[in-house]
Chain A
Amino acid sequence: MTDRVLNLVIFAGVLCVVAGGAAAVGSLFGPARRGKTKESPYECGSPILNETRKKFDVRFFMLAMIFILFDIETVLLIPYAVQYERFGVAGLVIAGIFFLGLVESLIYAWKKGALDWK
């Protein structure tokens, strides 16, 4: 085992001991008084406005989907971009067709109202 790995292991071990020990000491010796105020996220501060576990609006999911697709699909252009000189005009045409597909799907999402926030 190298020094660096050993350091990491020691660091992780100390971390676990300190954090776990603090939590254990707290739960062992601390008085346990439970109540509504005690369990609220901010014990001293402004009163809670609403639930923390809110349901997300479905529009977030729609945007996430569209973002992920258009964001990641451009990754497919990387292998082409690295080697574009080998492929010449033909490669340009193929990459253009690929882009056409992306643009078509963007227009589709737009027309179907997936990009509107209302």
Chain B
Amino acid sequence: MEELFTPTKVLILSGALMSIGVYGVLARRNLIVMLMSLEMMLVAVNVVLVLFSRMHASEGMAGHVSQHTYEAAFLGAHTGQIFTLMIMTVAAGEVGVGLAILVALYRSRNSIDVDQARELRL
């Protein structure tokens, strides 16, 4: 049977996630929603990386006979998954900083609507 998740479908999924994220950041004015959209952009990248990592693994490791070259191909192909872990931790740090800034902003002007934050001229 044909595979359920072909690369094209996964790329479309990731593109959709990315577009939702970009739209959310650009169009929404609520800082919490913008924060969520930023996270969604990073999630889209994670999906792409896992896909690429898997593709490289399946195409790169097939031809290797000896243990050493197999291991090399294995490590190279799984770089994408390590990258994903790093992005996840960075995303967590970003959420932490974003929430902290949000709290500071709310305390100073009682609103998290970005349009009301225009003390500095644009």
Report if A and B touch in the complex (beta carbons < 8 A): yes
Interface positions of A (Cβ within 8 A of B): 2-5, 58, 61-62, 64-66, 68-69, 71-73, 75-76, 78-79
Q: Looking at the complex, which of B20-28, B41-49, B90-98 is the stretch in contact with chain A?
A: B90-98
Which residues from 1 to 17 on chain B have a C-beta closer than 8 Å to any C-beta of chain A?
1-2, 4
Among B85, B91, B99, contact of A79 (Cβ-Cβ < 8 Å): B85
Contact B89 A72 (CB under 8 A): yes
Known: A4-B1, A73-B92, A75-B85. 11 other contacts (CB 8 A): A3-B1, A5-B4, A58-B103, A61-B99, A65-B95, A65-B99, A69-B93, A72-B89, A73-B89, A75-B88, A79-B85
Contact B95 A68 (CB under 8 A): yes
Which residues of A are found within 8 Å of B107, using beta-carbon distances? 58
Given contacts A2-B1, A2-B4, A75-B85, contact A61 B102 (CB under 8 A): yes
Contact residues of B: prevailing secondary structure: helix
A75 CA to B107 CA, complexed, in Å: 32
Which residues of A are found within 8 Å of B4, using beta-carbon distances? 2, 4-5
Contact B2 A2 (CB under 8 A): yes
Please, which residue of chain B has its CB at the minimum distance from the CB of A58?
A: B103
A-B residue pair count with CB separations less than 8 angstroms: 43
Contact B82 A64 (CB under 8 A): no
Contact residues of A: prevailing secondary structure: helix
Which residues of A are found within 8 Å of B88, using beta-carbon distances? 72, 75
A68 CA to B90 CA, complexed, in Å: 11
